[in-house]
Amino acid sequence: MADIPHFDLPFLFVGGKAVVAEQDSLRDIQNCAEAVIRTHIGEREGLPEFGIPDPTFQVVPINTADIVEQIEEWEPRADATAEERPDWLEPLIDRILIQVVERSTPA
């Protein structure tokens, strides 16, 4: 059991217990980065500037630098990279691969 547990993302139960990630672990940092990515700016009433702009109707190519910037602004423990790839089957779908690693030195 984690000393300082945080709920894992996505939230789920395994064996009747909530899955957790240890605070400050790589998984915790990745979860926090995922929370930024899954939140569109303006969705959180108490923190309206949190998240990324909604990319749903953005013209391809998506500005992945903005996504990386938002992740690193809201999760200073993370170093993020993003790579845009067109879908191999459907050219109107754009895929973005985001990798998050623990920052080796404080920002």
CATH classification of the domain holding 15: 3.10.450
In a domain, 65, yes or no: yes
The confidence score (pLDDT) of residue 62 equals 80
What range defines the domain where residue 34 resides? 5-102
In a domain, 74, yes or no: yes
60 within 8 A of 79, measured Cβ to Cβ: no
The confidence score (pLDDT) of residue 105 equals 67
**Packing angle of the helix pair 64-74, 26-38 (nearest 10 deg):** 120
76 within 8 A of 104, measured Cβ to Cβ: no
pLDDT, tens digit only, all 107 positions of the chain: 558 888 888 888 999 999 898 888 898 999 999 999 999 999 999 999 999 988 888 777 788 888 999 999 999 999 999 998 888 888 777 888 899 999 886 55
Token couple for 59: 């013209």
In a domain, 57, yes or no: yes
84 within 8 A of 98, measured Cβ to Cβ: no
The confidence score (pLDDT) of residue 4 equals 84
- The 10 Å Cβ neighbour count of residue 78 is 22
Number of domains in the chain: 1
In a domain, 78, yes or no: yes
Cβ-based neighbours of 30, under 8 Å, separated by 6 or more? 78, 100
